[in-house]
Chains A and B, each alone.
Chain A
Amino acid sequence: MKLVIAMLMDGVIYASWLFIIAAGLTLIYGVMRILNMAHGSFYAIGAYAGASLVGVYLAGGYPPWGAYFMLLGAAIFSGALVGILIERGLLRIMYGRDEVVMILVTYAILLILEDVIKLVWGVDAYFTYQPYTLLGRTKLAGIAFANYDIALIFVSASICFLLWWGLNRTRNGKLLQAVIHDRDTAAFLGINVTRMFTVTFVIGAMLGALAGSLTAPGISVMPGIGVEVIILAFAVVVIGGLGSVGGALLGALIVGLSRSAAVHLYPDAELFVIYGVMALVLAFRPQGLFAIATARKI
């Protein structure tokens, strides 16, 4: 029983973290058809921005609860900045190219941003454990969980709700869905597709940065974290179906739970399980679990 609860909780916590990253990735793919490798860098930039801003804030002797707003602010600001710079400055001139070429374009951006991060923040690790420990721990069936992690589940759930609400219950969301289904027709009908692209990319970048800054208190922030994360996020969105937010949620849960099951039962299979599940899903549902239907080319 204890084991089951630990497994479930760990799985859900991990899944909620994965979902925040994967949501941005899948949103950008759905609208722009770009599988954005640089998303890993957005995550890393968010983590660095969050960790350094909280460090400066706490060193100033301000009330510690404000650190959470610092994390949020750092994510929104850094995500928006990097997102606008990259979309307007670079991706704009690359539109219309093959999907696979776009992967390489974003791969190049990933390489560039990895070094930009090193130039800005150096190569030493950053630690900001205060926001993590401040919330204390809760005992569930005799197992202690960090409240910060439990809060992460709620944050992730609210992001999921906001995305659903934004896409299905607002005017702009419905316009965006029109763009997702048929970009050309949407443009004919007078939707400003270019602006939709910019806004989507910035929101996606912010989500990536948010995942990073929320993770920062729990890990040591150092070079290379983005490269590890992006491949996980790929697994999640491919399992769920590229471009589907609901799919990202399902994918995150599947990956999160199967990983935590592996960690608790057979730790050696930790990485193997994630990509094993990905391969299994792809083998039976090539387009992922929640696929968007596409026309066949003749």
Chain B
Amino acid sequence: MRRDRLHALAIVAAALLTAACASSEEWATWKEHPSHFASGEHLAFSIRNRSGAPTRVTREDIALARSQGWWGKPITVSTEQILEK
């Protein structure tokens, strides 16, 4: 997990070093790589495929991977600032 985090940080750092205003080309590039939007796929595989054998991923696997990958309480706007119960 620690190695995964370092890997993710390295990717983010590289992204910031090359950051610029979005062009249509960049927008299109992002749209063409939807795998960026399903880290559950990656995380679940990291849990179940350690033996190297291809396998199926269940929703429970994804929930487990997500809980293990959680980085702590986020800084974010609270729902109470947006909505009233």
Partners in one complex: no
Chain A residues in the interface with B (C-beta under 8 A): none
Chain B residues in the interface with A (C-beta under 8 A): none
